[in-house]
A and B are shown apart, each in its own frame.
Chain A
Amino acid sequence: MAEYWFVADGYNDKVQSFLADNGDSEVDLMFTVPEKDFNTAGKGSSEVKNLLKRLGVDSDILRRIAVASYEAEINVAAHSRGGVMHSAVYDDLIHIRFEDEGPGIGDIEQAMIPGFSTADELVRELGFGAGLGLPNIKKNSDALHIVSDAGSSTLVEFIIFFS
């Protein structure tokens, strides 16, 4: 499996310490993301944002989380056979994992290039397929990890700190 890692400048130590011992999350939310269901796609991200808003997370950080999460949720609906979104809220961060049923990303580096898209006609008609999904997730995340390969499932997970 091919793997991609991005950690924003200055966050390496915090990310490593979270990965080494992340303890128990305070709240967990799970949503299924069905293939090509653009009526429900985005609901999971809306609910996560609402929860974090109630918990008092800063509005700029809230928007970054919402945008990264929405882009990833749409990616699962648009490009995969369906998957799940798992959000774990900790004291100081949120960790969101998207795992799908394939068919996988053949070249992750290429998928990270702004403007590169494999979206089909249906997806483009709805206004998706700008080729900015993964770049927007990266732009808004403190850490982004992708594991995939052609013909296999894809894991996209990111971490955003609350301060």
Chain B
Amino acid sequence: MTLSDIVTLLDGEVLYPEADMNREVPCAFASDMISDILMCTKEPTLLLTGLTNNQVIRLSDMIDLSGIVFVRGKRPLQDVIDMAAERGLPIISTKFTLYRSSGLLFNAGLRSCKI
């Protein structure tokens, strides 16, 4: 599944135009707790979260994130979007909830990441 497929499934919005949406996404993880997210150290992971502060982008310096989906219609501030763009980290916003977004992607065949 590519990030473009994910944007379609979640009726999402890509938050900066240069993002590489052809990137393949092998698996996903959903959480609003940073220490939970840091357990995803085994493979490139799509993160679904309601957190929009700069530390969410900082996480991608530590672990391998394929992209981030901000749920419940949340959008990070521009400086956070700029941090993602600097790192080439694709970011997407969807109006769906964390639960619904996760369910839609899981039903479409996107598995949980190994922790």
Interface residues of A (CB under 8 A from B): 38-39, 41-43, 45-46, 49-50, 60, 63-64, 66-67, 70-71, 74, 126-133, 136, 140
Separation in Å of the A64 CB from the closest CB of chain B?
7
A-B pairs, 5 with minimum CB distance: A132-B35, A66-B62, A46-B61, A130-B35, A130-B33
Q: Return the CB mask of B42-61 against A: 1 if under 8 Å, else 0.
A: 00000001010111101101
Q: Is B9 an interface residue (CB 8 A)?
A: no
Interface residues of B (CB under 8 A from A): 32-36, 38-39, 41, 49, 51, 53-56, 58-59, 61-64
Q: A63-B62, A131-B35 are in contact. List 4 more A-B contacts (CB 8 A).
A: A42-B55, A63-B63, A66-B62, A127-B53
B53 with A66: CB separation less than 8 A:
no
- Chain B residues with CB under 8 Å of A38's CB are 53-55
A sample of 14 cross-chain residue pairs with beta-carbon separation below 8 angstroms, ordered by A number, consists of: A39-B54, A42-B58, A43-B58, A45-B62, A63-B41, A63-B63, A66-B62, A70-B58, A70-B59, A127-B33, A127-B49, A128-B34, A128-B35, A140-B41
Separation in Å of the B27 CB from the closest CB of chain A?
16
Expressed in whole angstroms, the Cα–Cα distance for A43 and B32 within the complex equals 21
- Chain B residues with CB under 8 Å of A50's CB are 61
Nearest chain A residue, comparing its CB with the CB of B62? A66
- Chain B residues with CB under 8 Å of A71's CB are 35, 38
